[in-house]
Every structure is written in structure tokens, then in C-alpha cells.
Structure 1
Amino acid sequence: MAFHFAMGDPSELVQIHNVPHYRYLGSANEDIPWDVSHIIVDNSVTIIKKNAFSMCQNIESVIMGDSVRIIEAEAFFKCINLEVIRLSKSLQRIGERAFCGCEELQVFIIPPSVKEIERWILMDCPLLRFLVLPYEINLDHVGEEIIFNTPLCDFARDAGVQYEMDRNGIVTEESNRRFHEWLFCRTEPYESPLHKICYKADVTVQEINDYICENGDESASQMDAMHGITHGMTLLHMLAMNSHAAADVVAGNLLHANMDAVFLRDDEGETPLDYAARYNVPGLLKIIEILCLHRQTTFTKKIIHERGSLYQKKEVERIRKRKIAEVV
């Protein structure tokens, strides 16, 4: 999936390669075209208003400017084809039911800047299987049932953790906290510290390089284990899913440490290339560039080796002939 930024008047729908794009300005009563499939939130926008994209059933991707601080209630309610969302690095609050009913949403990475998550934000997302939450958030600022009726909620139930209702059908405060403690993995966020690094909005090449130097190249092939659930992902899978990660980070030392990692498939049959194509296109292009350079370098080394071997054979033959001539 390629993303193209709108040019000219940002309030107009732009057709690029037959794909409709729309730049959202956050204006009062802004009318979103019904057939838009890709949204670019303008850098001037600080608040995505309530119901801004509610029921826009053709939206597939949203690229959010880093000035956005608040996503109000039901902003993307029942965007049933929304698959890719890049949240703002400055985001502080996600409103009630903001992404409720997004049926194609599989991955949701919330940046560490978020301080408040209201209830039901990801309720009724039937494909949601991978969720990264800000591990330092105060659990008192997280609403109830944020992943109700999702596969993750089923995983929790299998682990013996679930929401409990009082006689009025309201989730009890105790069960809500217990569920969130499991979900946020407060005691041990990730099996590997590098997992936490990979999901950071400001992850750097130096952090990854330091970790690999300390733990060895084999650490690049470690499989993930989040919330007690193994997805069969390597660390490169996770970096490729991080839409905030710079291209050099995605295709940096982690790739060099294990070039084959780019072709490994997770439990869903997806490679890091597949995830980068959806969530981090600059990272994808950088990975391809490095793979091409690696192939060229390998081919060059092979030629040099073959030429060196041929030269060595000729030199041996020349010496042999000279010795024969001396004997004669």
C-alpha cells in the first residue's frame, strides 16, 4: 500500500493513481467525501472532532499529523474497512468508542504520549490481534472494556481474566483494574526488553545496535510473547509494524544482524516486508534497497572469488611449466 500526500488545496479530494485521498483540516462541519479511502490529517489539526469520520465505510488508512493531541468520541466509529492507522506522537487522549466497530483493524499501536484512554475504544473489532499500550499510563485513566468483543478479550478469558458485572450490569472497578493489569503486563511488559524498544515512537538505531551488541546477533531472531500470546513475530516484524520508526531504524542493524529475518513468516504467514508495506512504506523501501545492495555485494564477492581462483590456477600452472622447463 503506497501513501501519497495531497497537493494544492488541502480541503479538496485528490485523485492520485485512481486512489481518492482527503486532507482533513478539522474545520467545523467539515464534510468528508463518502467515497474517500485514504485520510491525511493536516499538521495544523490538534483535535479530531467527535464523529468526524463516523460510518465512513470506505476509509482504509489514516495518516495522522503529529500535532493531534485529542481524538474525540466515535471519531472513527464503524469505519468497517479501516486497516491502517498512524497515531500522532503527541496524542494525549483517545475518546469513547473512537475506533469501535473497525472490522478490518488488526494492529493498534498507541504511542507513550497517551495519558487517557476512554471506554470501549476498540470494542467490536473482530480482527484485532495485536495491541501495544503505553506502559507508563496510570490505569485509573483507562476506561472499561476497551477491547470488549475482540480476539484479545478471548485470550484474556482463556488466561482466567475477564470483566465482571455488578447487579446493574456495570463492570466492577476491581475486575476492570485486574483486566487492565493483565492487558498492560505491568510486571513484565515484554519477554525481551528489545520488544519495548521496537514499539517506541522515537526508537533509534543506536538503541537497537546497543542491544544486539550486548545480546548477540541471534537476538534478532527472538520470537515475541505479548500478554502470554505468541504471534511468531521476530523483532523485525515488530519494527516494520511501527509506523513511527524511521526508515534507517527499520532497515538498520537488526536487518544486518540477520538478513534472512526479512523473509521469515509469523503465525499469520506474514513477513516483515508485508507489514512494512502496510504500516511503514519508507521502511519497506529502505529494506529493499539494502537487500539489493546485499545481493550486489554478494555477487561481486563471488566474481572476485571466482577470478581469484582462476588467477591462482593459472599461476600454479605457470610455475609448473617453468619447473618442467628447468628440468629439461
Structure 2
Amino acid sequence: MADHADDGNDYDGDVFVYRGGRAPRHITHVRIDESVDVIKENAFNGCEDLVQVETHDGIRKVGQWAFLKCISLRQISLKHVVEIDGYAFYFCENLADVEFGDNLETIGERAFDGCCSLEHLKLPSIITIGMQAFWKCKALKDVEFSERLETIESNAFYGCDRLEGIAIPLKRDMFPLDWLHQKYDQFDGCDQLKTVDLVGGITKLLHRCTWKVGELKWKKKSIE
């Protein structure tokens, strides 16, 4: 019952083979065909029964709203993806395990907003994290950022109230100031954040940071 037959999509048993376009909303299992290097915007938007997505090494980008409100999806491998657009996994509330690889550079605005089952994030090559990208990911406990990280935008981790520790390379202008409220709000509402490991060279510390944290401890990791 593929409703985009012109895109060449079909079924392999119970598995929907995705070759482009908008997938049927009733699907449960998907295999991304090797011909696909970009998962287009809205591709699986609203596929509430989708539980499994088999990816491949050639996928470079996940488009805007691609998996929006796929509320049954629990795991996905994105280990060769370079860019994740805004709202790509918005309110995938049961998404607990996302494998990011060494190529990922950009996570867009609200890309994982409302993914309240994510517990750990390791972003080994990330450069830019967009506004509200991980807004209210309430199960998130720790985050490890890339030394290449350049920008974390406003409210990126707002309301991650179980977040206890981050490893981060502080660089000049990494945290854009919220000019309206005159504060740095990237980790506002992270009430359990107690440890920040500073990785690599440090050029500037924040003087107007208003993150709500407990007994915050700053550490510097020496990098050989």
C-alpha cells in the first residue's frame, strides 16, 4: 500500500523499502535503500507505529521534520550523517538510543526537542547545535561534545533537569548571548548540572551565565 509508487518504494516482506518521497503513515519497519543519501523533509512525519529504521553508511543528511512525532521509534543509527535539520526528531518521545558518528557537524533548531527518553549523548565531531535542539530532554544525564564545537545556540538544553555533567571545550563566542534577557541560557533549567569538564584550550570564561546548577564543579582535561 505504498502511496508514493512513483518514488520506487516497495515492501520486502513486512519491511518498507524507502527510496524517496513521503512514506505511508502505517508502516512499522523501514529499510533506507542505498540509493538514498538524504532522508527528505517530512519523509516519516507522523508515522506513529514506526519502531525500526535500518540505515546505511551513505546517508549524509536528515531533512526537516523527517521523523517528527514518530512516537514508537526507540533507536536509530546516524553514524555517517553530516547534518540533521530542524525538527527532524521532534517529539520522538520513546527515542532512547541515537548513534552519532565522526561526521556529524550540525544539529538544527529543535531537532530533538521533546525526546524525553534520551539518556546519553556523545557528539564526537559536532560543530553547531541549534536553538532548543534538545529542549526538555528530561532523561538526559550526560553529554560529551566535540573539540570542534563552535556554537551552542539559545536554550539548546533548556529543561534537561536530570543532566548531571558535560564535557565541553570552551571557546570564544561559543555561547551567543540572549540579548533580550541579557544572559546565557543554553543550559537554563538544568538543575542537576554539577560537573563541567573543560576540554582543550580555554580562551574565555562566562561572567553572566545564569544556568541554574547545584554545586557546579569546573574541571580542565589535559589533551595530549
TM-score, normalised to structure 2's length?
Answer: 0.62
Q: Structure 1 residue 148 and structure 2 residue 135: aligned?
A: yes
Could you tell me which amino acid in structure 2 is paired with residue 36 of structure 1? I
Q: Structure 1 residue 79 and structure 2 residue 70: aligned?
A: yes
**Residue of 82, 86, 99 corresponding to 1:109:** 99
Q: Equivalents in 1 of 2:68, 2:48: separation in Å? A: 10
Q: Structure 1 residue 11 and structure 2 residue 9: aligned?
A: yes
CA RMSD of aligned residues (A): 3.5
Aligned to 1:60: 51
Q: Structure 1 residue 23 and structure 2 residue 17: aligned?
A: yes
Aligned to 2:147: none
Please give the per-residue CA displacement for 1:203-228, whole angstroms capped at 9, x wherever unaligned: xxxxxxxxxxxxxxxxxxxxxxxxx9
Change (3 A) 1:185 1:62: farther
Aligned to 1:137: 126
Please give the per-residue CA displacement for 1:164-186, whole angstroms capped at 9, x wherever unaligned: 994758x96x433899xx99965
Q: Equivalents in 1 of 2:196, 2:26: separation in Å? A: 37
Q: Equivalents in 2 of 1:21, 1:36: separation in Å? A: 8
Q: Equivalents in 2 of 1:81, 1:128: separation in Å? A: 13
Q: As a proportion of its length, which structure holds more helix?
A: 1
Change (3 A) 1:106 1:184: farther
Three-state SS of the structure 2 residue aligned to 1:56 is: coil
Three-state SS of the structure 1 residue aligned to 2:185 is: helix
Could you tell me which amino acid in structure 2 is paired with residue 21 of structure 1? V
Aligned to 2:185: 175
Change (3 A) 1:175 1:167: closer
Could you tell me which amino acid in structure 1 is paired with residue 12 of structure 2? V
Aligned to 1:33: 24
| Structure 1 residues not aligned, in runs of 5+ | 1-9, 189-227, 229-328
Aligned to 1:271: none
Change (3 A) 1:184 1:60: farther
Q: As a proportion of its length, which structure holds more strand?
A: 2
Please give the per-residue CA displacement for 1:25-72, whole angstroms capped at 9, x wherever unaligned: 12xxx3422321111111111111111100011100111121111111
Q: Equivalents in 2 of 1:43, 1:21: separation in Å? A: 15
Aligned to 1:51: 42
Aligned to 1:120: 110
- Aligned ranges for residues 216-295 of structure 1 at < 5 Å? none
Q: Equivalents in 2 of 1:55, 1:37: separation in Å? A: 12
Percent identity, please: 27
Aligned to 1:277: none
Could you tell me which amino acid in structure 2 is paired with residue 143 of structure 1? G
**Residue of 87, 90, 104 corresponding to 1:97:** 87
Three-state SS of the structure 1 residue aligned to 2:53 is: strand
User: Does the 8 Å contact 1:108/1:132 carry over to 2?
Assistant: no
Q: Equivalents in 2 of 1:100, 1:183: separation in Å? A: 28
Change (3 A) 1:53 1:12: same
Which structure has more relative contact order (CA 8 Å, sep 6+)? It is 2
Could you tell me which amino acid in structure 1 is paired with residue 161 of structure 2? D
Three-state SS of the structure 1 residue aligned to 2:186 is: helix
